[in-house]
Structure 1
Amino acid sequence: MKEVILALITGFIVGLVFAGFKLPIPAPPAFAGVAGIIGIYLGFKVMAWAGPMFAEFFK
């Protein structure tokens, strides 16, 4: 949980700095981009969990 809080604080500070210098945001500007990132993470976790069942397909 500590890592999540630190990542959130770091992201917030980076967002403030980018906004202060009027730079484009260094992240997906739309919810679809954020949803894509979450999908990638979930896909990775599912494969880590289910991967051993399908190991022969990925040799």
Structure 2
Amino acid sequence: MQEIVLALIAGLIVGIVFTWIKLPIPSPPALPGVIGILGIYLGHKIMNYVSAFLS
């Protein structure tokens, strides 16, 4: 849980700094980007499970 909170705080700081210096945020556009990142994470977890199951 601590990692999640630290990641959220880091993300908030990066968002604030990028907005302050008038740069575009370093993330994909809203919901489609978040879903894409979630897909990458789930694909990684599935492959870990499959490779452990086949070994």
Normalised by the shorter chain, which TM-score bucket?
A: 0.7 to 0.9
Runs of at least 4 residues of structure 1 off by over 4 A?
A: none
CA-CA distance at 1:53 after TM superposition: 4.0
Q: Distance in 2 between matches of 1:13 and 1:49?
A: 34
Q: Which runs of 5+ in 1 are unaligned?
A: none
TM-score by length of 1: 0.82
Equivalent residue, structure 2, for 1:51: 51
Query: How many equivalent residue pairs?
Result: 55
Aligned-pair identity (%): 56
TM-score normalised by structure 2 residue count: 0.87
* Superposition CA RMSD, Å: 1.3
Segments of structure 2 that go 5 or more residues without pairing to the other structure are none
